[in-house]
């Protein structure tokens, strides 16, 4: 690779941000440095004697490797290793490695965290999301000695299936019902990728929103509105803790929303009939209570009318009783405003 091509390739890779992308960055920088990688990890990592004829060529090569590594760092990382600004390329790389390469429990923690934090909205397509999960799972499994604790293909497949957008609900249902038994823990991810990619192309052709990073670029207003909506309600549908307290209104079960409901049609129909019966009982109870209230009001008004008939000439005196059930005035002219009701109206 020519020096010009190396320069372009170095500027094209994602810059080192910290522990979270050290593994990928270190692999990329080794690839793009090409023959100048010898000045980092090779026979030319140590300088020759200054009075030797090879020193000038070595100095130029080391300077080129150092500059390329430095330009592939984010501003935050550059501030962290600024003391190595003029050091050897090998010294700079070793300083970065000692600071950002995780080993043991730390490596397991960061690899697992990166896998769990992966979201469809961070990738251009669902197929890319699947590839990303496969790579992240490989990083996690590499740090776990116990093979029984590895992230298997079935776990990756189920994560992808549950991340499918509503417009791919039919494919989601088919994939879940055709899933292999959990005891086998075997899933052909290549076939799964083909099925998802075919359905994804159809959804894109129909103009459906898949929730990928490209959707946020093509329709930023809708994406912003959705973000604001979620911020206002402070709900995260991908949060298992929050989902554990939610009830699906299609099947009545907890731990998922109606958009991700995988219950059978028989279960949904049974739940719908159960809710309809509850509504009928509630309506019947409400009608009974309303009839009892009307009867009580009629009885009270009848007693009041009987008392009014036995009364002689209307008195001009007022009797104030704050505990009275009904308040009456026999003289309509005493009212400032008057509105007639067809039936008794409680005030």
pLDDT tens-place string over residues 312-343: 555 566 776 666 667 777 777 777 777 777 76
pLDDT at residue 229 greater than cutoff 70: no
Predicted confidence at residue 305, as pLDDT, reads: 47
Q: Band the pLDDT of 310: cuts 50, 70, 90.
A: very low
Would you say 237 and 243 are in contact if contact means Cβ atoms under 8 Å apart?
yes
Higher-confidence residue: 216 or 18?
A: 18
Cα 268 to Cα 97, 189, 260, 282, distances in angstroms = 55, 31, 13, 21
- Non-local (6+) Cβ contacts of 121 within 8 A are 211, 212, 213, 216
**pLDDT tens, 152-166?**
888 888 888 888 888
**DSSP-assigned letter for residue 53:** T
pLDDT band at 109 (very low <50, low <70, confident <90, very high): confident
Q: What is the pTM of this model?
A: 0.45
Dihedral angle over CA of 131, 134, 137, 142, nearest 10: -110
Q: What percent of the chain has pLDDT over 90?
A: 0
Q: Which of 10-24, 168-182, 189-203, 223-237 has the lowest mean pLDDT?
A: 223-237
Residues 40-46: contacts with CB under 8 Å, at least 24 apart: 40/65, 40/69, 40/89, 40/90, 40/93, 41/90, 41/93, 45/88, 45/89, 45/90, 46/90
Beta strands, E only, 17-129: none
């Amino acid at each position: 690779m020519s020096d010009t091509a190396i320069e372009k390739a170095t500027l094209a890779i994602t810059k080192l941000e910290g522990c979270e992308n050290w593994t990928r960055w270190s692999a990329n920088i080794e690839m793009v440095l090409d023959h100048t990688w010898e000045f980092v990890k090779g026979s030319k990592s140590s300088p020759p004697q200054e009075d030797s004829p090879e020193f000038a060529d070595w100095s130029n090569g080391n300077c080129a490797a150092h500059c390329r590594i430095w330009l592939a760092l984010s501003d935050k990382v550059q501030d962290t290793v600024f003391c190595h600004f003029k050091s050897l390329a090998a010294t700079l790389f070793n300083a970065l490695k000692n600071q950002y390469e995780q080993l043991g429990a730390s490596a397991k923690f960061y690899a697992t965290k990166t896998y769990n934090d992966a979201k469809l909205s961070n990738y251009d397509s669902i197929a890319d999301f699947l590839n990303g999960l496969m790579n992240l799972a490989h990083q996690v499994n590499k740090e776990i000695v116990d093979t029984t604790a590895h992230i298997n293909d079935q776990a990756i497949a189920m994560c992808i299936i549950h991340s499918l957008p509503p417009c791919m609900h039919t494919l989601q249902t088919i994939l879940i019902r055709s899933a292999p038994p959990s005891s086998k823990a075997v899933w052909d991810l290549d076939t799964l990728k083909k099925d998802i990619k075919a359905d994804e192309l159809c959804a894109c052709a129909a103009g459906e929103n898949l929730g990928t990073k490209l959707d946020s670029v093509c329709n930023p207003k809708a994406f912003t509105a959705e973000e604001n909506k979620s911020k206002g309600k402070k709900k995260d549908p991908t949060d298992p803790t929050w989902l554990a307290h939610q009830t699906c209104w299609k099947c009545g079960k907890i731990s998922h929303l109606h958009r991700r409901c995988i219950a059978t049609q028989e279960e949904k129909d049974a739940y719908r009939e159960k809710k309809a019966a509850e509504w009928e009982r509630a309506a019947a109870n409400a009608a009974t209570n309303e009839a009892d209230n009307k009867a009580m009001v009629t009885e009270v008004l009848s007693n009041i009318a009987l008392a009014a008939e036995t009364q002689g000439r209307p008195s001009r005196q007022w009797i104030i009783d704050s505990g009275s059930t009904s308040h009456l005035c026999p003289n309509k002219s005493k009212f400032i405003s008057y509105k007639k009701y067809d039936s008794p109206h409680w005030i």
